[in-house]
Amino acid sequence: MDLLEYQAKELFHQVGIPVLPSQPIAQLSELKHLHIRYPVVLKSQVHSGGRGRAGGIRFVQNTIDAVAAAQAIFSLPILGEYPEVILAEARYDTQDEIFLSILLDYQLQRPVLMGSAKGGIDVETLLQHMHKVVLDQGFSPFYARRLATKMGLQGRLIHGVSTILEKMYQLFIEKDLDLIEINPLAVSASGEVMALDGKITVNDMALSRHLDLLSFLKPKTDESATVAPKATIVTTPPQKPRWLQAKEKEGKIGIIANGAGLTLTTWDLLVNQKGKLLGAFIIEEKSSSKSLMRQLGIAIDKMLTLPDVEVILINIVSNQPTSELVAEALKDYCQPLVLPSDSEERLPRPTGSNSTHQRPITPSSKTNPVKWVVRLAVEDLQAIEASLSDVPIHCFTHLTEAVKKTVAISS
């Protein structure tokens, strides 16, 4: 279960992680009785990222501006999701921004502390400065200070960030979380820290032990009680994968993964194995199977147009049926080329449609074909491997093994 920002901050406040004065707004009339002073920032409460770029975060100076901005935010779908709540929050003077996260690594079967001294919305810069510490034993403040030191923090900021990590871990254990993230953790000119945004993922299997978290579940609406239908129908554009460009000019490895967190982890492991990265396509984490396959097809198409790519690592975490669809799509892409008379290759699209995709053949695609490594986090990989026995695709269930193979064949 993924919590919204204002819900995550309620839990932050319970363990003493500093958050700004704020007030959830469900009706426009509530803006006339704010408990916090202007100027304020209004934030759309949806589960997807990229709210700022989409127009879901606005700064306002007075009530009139707030009502107009809130009305626009309530009417704005972000990746197809309309907010039911807007968070009104006080402004904060920020000098630096830090990324902090604790996630449960299912491959290592241990929590991992992750941090970047360059937090915020610039994901590429954040990745370049990412550091991690694996909790190979029980947690102690030593691990938090070790991460803060690896991030290059100095002075009182080491103590401040270490304290935040200790409280994050307390929440991580008490609530059986899969992920807790603060991005950004703002640093003021005086060195004080403040959690400006938060993300929490609760393990669904543990919800029965945390009845207080069940109140965060979205109540189902009674459609029979609807007074009138909406006057307009909003059609959202199809989702497209996001591209992250690596700074290395000699990069040869491309990543395609579903979810920013999974992409960051894959990227970090490849860097640790001395892999030379070209970039990554991020498929939206909350995609349906149909949307995931459509985005996967777009990502592969675009990745294959990059002249320097030699190995593509695809890391998809989904259920068994979707993983089988992914394998079938990759099998289509890796079939031997059939060259028509117009010197173009035609490859079946991974969406299952009968339309063909045309891509001009370059000399490099004939003499040095792209190599494929796929990691599918499923219990039964044998059936998928059997279906791919006639195509050159390396399949793995463990990410570390897939990363090692990717680096090995790219060398």
What separation, in Å, do the N-terminal and C-terminal C-alpha atoms of the chain show?
40
- Dist. CA 185–CA 197, nearest whole Å: 7
SS3 label, residue 182: strand
Nearest CA among 257, 230, 28, 277 for reference residue 130? 277
- Residue at a domain's end among 37, 70, 90: 90
CATH number of the domain at 126, please: 3.30.470.20
The verdict on 247 and 316 lying in the same domain is: yes
The verdict on 260 and 382 lying in the same domain is: yes
The residue range of the domain holding 56 is 21-90
- Residue at a domain's end among 193, 211, 229: 211
pLDDT digits (tens, 9 = 90+) for 194-210: 999 999 999 888 887 88
Confidence at residue 108, expressed as pLDDT on a 0 to 100 scale: 83
In the structure, how many helices (H) and strands (E) does the chain have?
12, 18
Confidence at residue 336, expressed as pLDDT on a 0 to 100 scale: 54
The answer to the question of residue 219 being in a domain is: no
Which mean pLDDT values do the consecutive 10-residue runs of the chain (411 residues) have?
93 95 93 91 89 90 94 88 93 94 88 93 88 90 95 93 96 94 94 94 84 67 34 47 80 90 87 90 80 87 87 89 84 58 40 38 47 86 82 88 93 79
Q: Which amino acid is at 125?
A: T
The C-alpha angle 396, 402, 407, rounded to 5 degrees, equals: 150
| H/E stretch holding 160 | helix 156-174
- Dist. CA 162–CA 151, nearest whole Å: 11
Kindly state the DSSP code that residue 211 receives in the 8-state scheme.
G
Question: Hey, what are 120's tokens?
Answer: 């915020």
- Residue at a domain's end among 39, 71, 90: 90
The answer to the question of residue 27 being in a domain is: yes
The answer to the question of residue 3 being in a domain is: no
The verdict on 107 and 170 lying in the same domain is: yes
The answer to the question of residue 347 being in a domain is: no
Confidence at residue 66, expressed as pLDDT on a 0 to 100 scale: 94
Rounded to two decimals, the pTM is: 0.57
**Torsions phi, psi for 85 (to 5 deg):** -140, 145
The verdict on 302 and 397 lying in the same domain is: yes
The verdict on 72 and 122 lying in the same domain is: no
Question: Hey, what are 172's tokens?
Answer: 């991580």
Nearest CA among 333, 328, 318 for reference residue 388? 328
The verdict on 49 and 186 lying in the same domain is: no
CATH number of the domain at 275, please: 3.40.50.261
